[in-house]
Structure formats: C-alpha cells, structure tokens
C-alpha cells in the first residue's frame, strides 16, 4: 500500500481527480463521475479503466471491485444507463 501522504492523479470522465490511496473502488469512481447521484435501483453504472498499475492494466471494473492506480494517468470512463 502507498504512504497516506502520497497523491495519485487519476482521470474520471475527462476530469482529473486526486486520491490519497493507490487503490480505488468502483463506488469511489462512480461518486467522482456523478457526485450528485442518489441511489436509484433503475440506474446502472458501467466503469472501464486503462493505464492501471494492477494487472490487467485495462478492463471493466465491476460493482464492489477495486483497482490499483498509477501515480499519474490511470483513466476511468463511467457511463450511467437506465434499466428498461
């Protein structure tokens, strides 16, 4: 694990965010992408990532999952869809 004083710069939906830990969760990334989202069972989020420290370096992050990020440059794309 990383020292708590370190900062990691990640990109979420094109916006840079700074996190204090080298491991980020699905829930943290969704909150960064949609900070005003309230829990709605009809809304589903999909998260993809690339340039991660952990292997695989790219892929899909599932709900409850986590990924180890690089010091700078791990990229996340979060999409929100409604269930039909």
% of the chain exceeding 70 in pLDDT: 93
Q: What is the pLDDT of residues 5-21, one digit of tens each?
A: 689 999 999 999 999 99
pLDDT reported for residue 5 = 66
In 3-state terms, what secondary structure has residue 23? strand
- With tokens 């005003």, the residue in question is 36
Q: How far apart are CA 55 and CA 73, in angstroms?
A: 15
pLDDT reported for residue 1 = 45
pLDDT reported for residue 75 = 98
User: CB–CB of 68/52 below 8 Å?
Assistant: yes
- What is residue 37's DSSP assignment? P
């Amino acid at each position: 694990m990383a020292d708590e004083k370190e900062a990691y710069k990640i990109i979420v939906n094109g916006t840079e965010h700074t996190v204090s830990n080298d491991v980020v969760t699905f829930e943290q990334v969704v909150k960064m992408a949609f900070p005003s989202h309230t829990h709605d069972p009809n809304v589903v989020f999909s998260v993809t990532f690339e340039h991660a420290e952990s292997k695989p370096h790219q892929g899909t992050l599932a709900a409850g999952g986590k990924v180890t990020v690089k010091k700078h440059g791990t990229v996340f794309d979060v999409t929100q869809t409604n269930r039909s």
